[in-house]
Amino acid sequence: MAIRIDDDLMTLEIDGTVIARARRLTGGWWEISYWPRFFDRNQAITALTVTELLESGYPSDDPLVLALREELR
């Protein structure tokens, strides 16, 4: 598992497969696959981390997942 962070693109890869992508838009906002809104750079990293945890088997009500989701509000 790895989150790769570049200037204009972030990817979450699990077992050699890209699970989610975040791309920087004009104006500095980030669009992330499977998320219904735009984020700033730090929020984009958090959203990819949440996705990684869920894809790794953490339940959606796990305290870590809930805490990270709270940061995205």
Closest Cα partner for 50 from 31, 37, 64?
A: 64
Name the residue ranges covered by the structural domains of the chain. 2-71
Question: Is residue 25 a contact partner of residue 31, using CB atoms and an 8 Å limit?
Answer: yes
Q: Per residue in 33-73, pLDDT tens?
A: 989 999 999 999 999 999 999 999 999 999 999 999 999 99
Sequence-ordered list of residues with C-beta below 8 angstroms from that of 44, at least 6 positions apart, any chain: 10, 22, 30, 32
Residue 30 confidence (pLDDT):
98
pTM of this structure: 0.93
